[in-house]
Amino acid sequence: MINILMSGCNGKMGQVISRMAAESEDLMIAAGYDKYTKINNTYPVFDDLEKCDVKVDVIIDFSNPDALDGLLSYSVKNKTPLIVATTGLSPNQVNKLREVSEAIPVFFSANMSLGVNLLMDLVKKAAKVLEYNFDIEIIEKHHNQKIDAPSGTALAIADEINSALSEKQEYVYDRHSRRKKRSKKEIGIHAVRGGTIVGEHSVVFAGTDEIIEINHIATSKEIFATGALSAARFLYNKKPGFYNMNDLISETN
Ligand SMILES: NC(=O)C1=CN([C@@H]2O[C@H](COP(=O)(O)OP(=O)(O)OC[C@H]3O[C@@H](n4cnc5c(N)ncnc54)[C@H](O)[C@@H]3O)[C@@H](O)[C@H]2O)C=CC1
Ligand SMILES: O=C(O)C1=N[C@H](C(=O)O)C[C@H](O)C1
């Protein structure tokens, strides 16, 4: 049995993962961490990681960037593998994750779904072929409770595209403050927020008289929970290192 500490356990993702872990035979949530503690869970919930006296094998984090420092200290002190799915981290926080991955296994992904990771591969291929004649714009849509914008996934898609292009493009967020024509050296990134949209990402390659669009639509949060639980199985007993969905997909396929 792999014992998990669920960080952000009382949030939307934390609750979906708790339900799915309870249905699994090899994983259980042994403890939770959340600053909001007014929900009854089947496991003990701590509002301070220093108070957590439950021994766990892996941490899964779907919370807020504010929680990261405490999680890193706890993980390093207890040598506990850490899965970070929280988005909106600063570049400095991502660097810290890389640093601690020299001491403990760290898994970081802005999107735990298999589909989005396939989309990233397809988009990279398209970007290489269309590099010189097509303008690239990314549009993401999420529910009205989402805090960060643009989504971590939209930024990760833009990074993947940039890694495939011969010349690095500048990211342009929305366009309301710009009063000039679009340049050839940019990737536009746009966020839509409303209702209960689970998560949609669309990459538009707009050329002269033709448009190619590659889309991913999440219709339930369970796809992210499935990915996070697979990441827990993957990271348990791994050597220190910085892992992502590509490592998980190549090991399991
Ligand atoms: N990588 C992926 O596949 C996915 C990532 N996410 C990301 O996961 C995060 C959480 O998403 P949701 O569950 O929808 O949000 P939510 O707002 O429903 O839940 C967040 C939970 O974290 C808790 N929290 C906030 N700050 C905290 C702190 N400093 N210490 C401890 N607990 C704290 C809140 O009380 C809340 O219960 C977001 O950053 C979101 O973008 C969400 C879905 C998929
Ligand atoms: O907040 C969400 O809900 C989601 N956040 C992630 C992101 O910011 O990319 C992933 C997913 O789209 C859902």
**DSSP string covering 43-73:** S-EESSGGG-----SEEEE-S-GGGHHHHHH
* Ligand 1 atom index nearest CA of 14: 13
Distance of CA 197 from the midpoint of ligand 2 (Å): 10
Report, as an integer, the average pLDDT of 136-157: 98
Q: Is 87 annotated as a binding residue?
A: yes
pLDDT at 178 (0 to 100): 86
Residue 37 has pLDDT above 90, yes or no: no
Q: Domain with 191 in it: what CATH number? A: 3.30.360.10
Q: Are residues 6 and 103 in the same domain?
A: yes
The residue with tokens 């089947």 is: 42
Q: Which residues are catalytic?
A: 142, 146
Kindly report the pTM of this predicted structure: 0.97
Q: Are residues 229 and 212 in the same domain?
A: no
Q: Write down the ipTM of this complex.
A: 0.99
Q: Are residues 75 and 197 in the same domain?
A: no
Indicate the pLDDT class of residue 38, thresholds 50, 70 and 90.
confident
Q: Give strand ranges (E) for 109-185.
A: 135-142, 170-173
> Residue 40 belongs to what domain range?
2-108+221-252
Pocket of ligand 1 (CB under 6 A): 8, 10-14, 33-36, 62-64, 66-67, 85-88, 109-112, 148, 152, 224
Alpha-carbon 196 to chain mean position: 18
Q: Are residues 95 and 28 in the same domain?
A: yes
Residue 253: name the closest of 234, 225, 226, 228 by CA.
Answer: 234
Report, as an integer, the average pLDDT of 64-85: 97
Q: Are residues 63 and 146 in the same domain?
A: no
pLDDT at 253 (0 to 100): 74
User: What's the mean per-residue pLDDT of the chain?
Assistant: 97
Residue 174 has pLDDT above 90, yes or no: no
The dihedrals phi and psi of 212, each to the nearest 5 degrees, come to -115, 135
